Structure 1
Amino acid sequence: MTSSFHELWAELLPIGRSSASGGYRRYAWTAADADCRAWFRSQAEARGLTYETDRNGNQWAWQGDPLAGDAVVIGSHLDSVPDGGAFDGPLGVVSSFAALDELRHRGAEFTKPVAIANFGDEEGARFGLACVGSRLAAGQLTPEKAYELTDGDGVPLPRAMEAAGYDPSAIGPDPERLARIGAFVELHVEQGRALDLSGDAVGIASAIWPHGRWRYDFHGEANHAGTTRLADRRDPMLTYAETVLAARAQARLTGALATFGKISVEPNGVNAIPSLVRGWLDSRAADQDTLDRVVAGIEAAAHEAAARAGIDLKVVRESFTPVVEFEHALRDELGRLLGGGIPVLGTGAGHDAGILSASVPTAMLFVRNPTGVSHSPAEYAAEDDCVAGVRALADVTEGLACA
């Protein structure tokens, strides 16, 4: 098992890695994404698995008949956030191939089909919406809305798909495929330190916090930075800065999380007062009421600051995912298969398993992250813990697909 995981990991590791930052830039429908997809296909074919790409660009590798139904699906995603870490997403895909290798080594006799999946554009780094592949499949994103997505260079999603050799006219809900899935189990590096603090290598997810993304457009007046009196300025950057501070204050008051992590400025000149500052808010909380309070508080503070400064403000909710309670029966079955005593923990991070939970029974396994750092080149998991995750995923898959 160790050699299988190590070889797979070493082969995938260089793809899409920035020599400057050490992080990954595996954005949807780019050359790095294509290389990741080619790697996935090669691993499927090397194992004699039935390979296919669905109508939304998600990849599948099947052990057994894809049409038989009641399939056990494992996997995650291969794309990344800007300068992301090596583990977020890829650990789940690599571990899935290694778990299948382990089960074959054990001589497991499958009574159900097993599939390994790579869901496309999970991070939303290029087009601004997370989990595009799984949202399309589950009918939570319409083709019409998907066609409206554009990247930072103004390239629409359909054009990017065409350039990568895929047919955007085919995208849309895939209920027939989802109906053939009896369970989806996604392994993921923990994006926090709960397992490190408890001393456990592997945990089971209980729920995903409700979360969303909001775009704040602050419209002011462009002018000369060296000649315009402070009293005469309508500078949207100041209002944006006040809003960032208000977000931190509201999060602290409510016990939620609120982050402005992306910004664009027009005209973006060193010696020019901006005409437009656009900032993106990411907010998450343990429950819906708390999330509603923090988001409302931030928006109210932003409007108040904008009114004082003569700034026009527009707020647009770009995405939202309600709380996801993973199916208790499947979650409990994972605990039984792993022998009990496995910690169960919630998470503020979104995942394809959360999107698909409305359509199929889903569950998640987490692998210990000793620092809790994620979405960063410093993201890390020890090889022993990764191997423990592979063993846990193999045990779960065997219990669900070989019963």
Structure 2
Amino acid sequence: MALARSGATVERDRLRASFDGVWGDLAGVGRDPRSGGYDRFSWTGVDLGLREWFVAEATRRGLEVEVDRNGNQWAWWGAPADGAVVTGSHLDSVPGGGAFDGPLGVVSALLAVDALRASGLAPERPLAVVNFVEEEGARFGLACLGSRLMTGAVDAGHALSLTDDDGTSLADAMSAAGHAPEHVGLDEAALARIGVFVELHVEQGVHLALGEESVGVASAILPHGRWHFCFEGEGNHAGTTRLVDRHDPMLPFAEAVGAARRLADEAQAVTTFGRVRVDPNGTNAIPSRVDAWLDARGADEVGIVRLVDDLRRVAEEAAAGHGVRLTVTNDSFTPVVEFDASLSDRLRSSLGAASIAAPTLPTAAGHDAGILAARVPTAMLFVRNPTGISHSPHEHADASDCVDGVEALTVVLRDLLTESLEVVSDRGVPAEAAR
């Protein structure tokens, strides 16, 4: 990647120093010193620290901070108004997650504002940097919760009733953090303020790592969903209960895990049972219940649905064979998301004019940009991940590539802030209320 402008080396050195400083201030929040991973869950004390960091960084830049009815934070350059250019990402993480998934987009957006201001830009429309709530779904089980609520893709009452592993509801967690849950839900006023949304994110895969370029433009998000498998058996003593008398829900669950892998291989998809809750979770006790959550993704929506249906049948047969009851519910399903073609073309054009080569690539990871795409023109930039590892402490992006990402985002935002926004599409309420 090369930028054709005078003083590029000096500017990059300054940008690298700025990136290191802002990134360093954020790096310790929610980090487990033993594993190096991050536990950044919404509406917790750690989350409060992240939100305070966001406000401090915005205030340092003279940006006006607002919190919308769903708890998403907005930092405004210019008076808040409809049709703004919006960028940003999220600050929360999966359990034991990496440092870059989400925060890289927020940090890069703030640094892009710095770069645009330093260049003397007088924007023709306002710009907002946004931090979305609960993108990962790590605490309440529903990914992209802040953007789903804002767009009406999930019912507010259903969302507020979601509980974490300790039984705390989203409504109670919000209240405890000082946010009024009665205002949660579809927010047409906030949506009207988004003329376009551009999210920068570390790539969660190896498309860029296999090539020569450090930045790419997203074409689409592949379909994906989450299903809750609940196996209910009979708890009993592990030592005194004969095998023939047992109704152990762990056994049909184990069969389901193996079947999920086999069926995914046959369908050229991916499936993961990554979250499991066992009751009573005692070494010398036969479980009475196993709750497990399946993540299924692939290139074809119909294929994913068929795969999960086949897995349900296998799991039902296994459960019946062990005298166990099985219920399966769909927590969420997101169809394929094709990003706004004219906006993506515009990104590639502005990057090309700045001598930045940016290949086009799809992703199987979900993002707030994918949820917003149902209502507003949306695009994504990816920054190279040298190993492709994500949702892990080993997630990484080289500092030089991160600087490339900030420079690319700056180029894109400059174009969108100074030229006519002719990419606005006629988009309606999402047909799928992901439940």
Instruction: Normalising by structure 2, report the TM-score.
Output: 0.91
Deviation at 1:341, TM superposition (A): 4.2
Q: Which residue of 1 aligns with 2:12?
A: none
Name the CA distance, whole Å, in 2 between partners of 1:43 and 1:111: 23
Q: What's the % identity of the aligned pairs?
A: 57
Deviation at 1:2, TM superposition (A): 1.5
Name the CA distance, whole Å, in 2 between partners of 1:147 and 1:95: 31
Q: What CA deviation, in whole Å up to 9, does each residue of 1:11-53 have, x standing for no partner?
A: 0100111122211111000011000000100111111111111
Q: Which residue of 2 aligns with 1:110?
A: 123
Name the CA distance, whole Å, in 2 between partners of 1:377 and 1:209: 25
Say which of 148, 151, 174 aligns to 1:138.
151
Secondary structure of 1:194's counterpart equals coil
Say which of 340, 348, 362 aligns to 1:346.
362
Q: Which residue of 2 aligns with 1:262?
A: 275
Q: Which residue of 2 aligns with 1:42?
A: 56
Determine if the alignment matches structure 1 residue 375 to structure 2 residue 388: no
Q: Which residue of 1 aligns with 2:324?
A: 311
Q: What CA deviation, in whole Å up to 9, does each residue of 1:261-320 have, x standing for no partner?
A: 011111111111111111110011112122112211211111121122221110011111
Name the CA distance, whole Å, in 1 between partners of 2:367 and 2:307: 22
Q: What CA deviation, in whole Å up to 9, does each residue of 1:309-350 have, x standing for no partner?
A: 221110011111111100100011111011074211111110
Say which of 393, 406, 412 aligns to 1:390.
406
Determine if the alignment matches structure 1 residue 31 to structure 2 residue 31: no
Q: Which residue of 1 aligns with 2:231?
A: 218
Deviates more, 1:26-35 or 1:168-177: 168-177
Q: Which residue of 1 aligns with 2:259?
A: 246
Name the CA distance, whole Å, in 2 between partners of 1:270 and 1:147: 34
Q: Which residue of 2 aligns with 1:12?
A: 26
Say which of 62, 68, 75 aligns to 1:61.
75
Q: Which residue of 1 aligns with 2:333?
A: 320
Supply the AA of the counterpart residue of 2:305: D
Give the ranges of 4+ consecutive aligned residues of structure 1 lying more than 2 Å apart after TM superposition. none
Name the CA distance, whole Å, in 2 between partners of 1:72 and 1:333: 14
Name the CA distance, whole Å, in 2 between partners of 1:365 and 1:290: 28
Q: What CA deviation, in whole Å up to 9, does each residue of 1:205-260 have, x standing for no partner?
A: 11111111111111111111112221221111011000000000011000011000
Q: Which residue of 1 aligns with 2:428?
A: none
Say which of 346, 371, 374 aligns to 1:355.
371
Determine if the alignment matches structure 1 residue 365 to structure 2 residue 381: yes
Deviates more, 1:385-394 or 1:46-55: 46-55
Secondary structure of 1:218's counterpart equals strand
Q: Which residue of 2 aligns with 1:188?
A: 201
Q: Which residue of 2 aligns with 1:95?
A: 108
Q: Which residue of 1 aligns with 2:301?
A: 288
Superposed CA RMSD: 1.0
Determine if the alignment matches structure 1 residue 400 to structure 2 residue 412: no
Name the CA distance, whole Å, in 2 between partners of 1:98 and 1:178: 24
* Aligned residues between the structures: 402
The answer to whether the Cα contact below 8 Å between 1:211 and 1:348 also exists between their aligned partners in 2 is yes
The answer to whether the Cα contact below 8 Å between 2:271 and 2:295 also exists between their aligned partners in 1 is yes
Q: What CA deviation, in whole Å up to 9, does each residue of 1:96-124 have, x standing for no partner?
A: 00111111121122111111000011111
Deviates more, 1:101-110 or 1:343-352: 101-110
Name the CA distance, whole Å, in 1 between partners of 2:109 and 2:337: 23
Q: Which residue of 1 aligns with 2:11?
A: none
Supply the AA of the counterpart residue of 1:308: G
Secondary structure of 2:290's counterpart equals strand
- Stretches of structure 2 that go unaligned for 5 or more consecutive residues are 1-14, 420-435
Name the CA distance, whole Å, in 2 between partners of 1:297 and 1:177: 41
Name the CA distance, whole Å, in 1 between partners of 2:198 and 2:60: 23
Name the CA distance, whole Å, in 1 between partners of 2:136 and 2:16: 28
Deviation at 1:375, TM superposition (A): 0.4
Name the CA distance, whole Å, in 2 between partners of 1:232 and 1:162: 46
Secondary structure of 2:400's counterpart equals helix
The answer to whether the Cα contact below 8 Å between 1:71 and 1:181 also exists between their aligned partners in 2 is yes
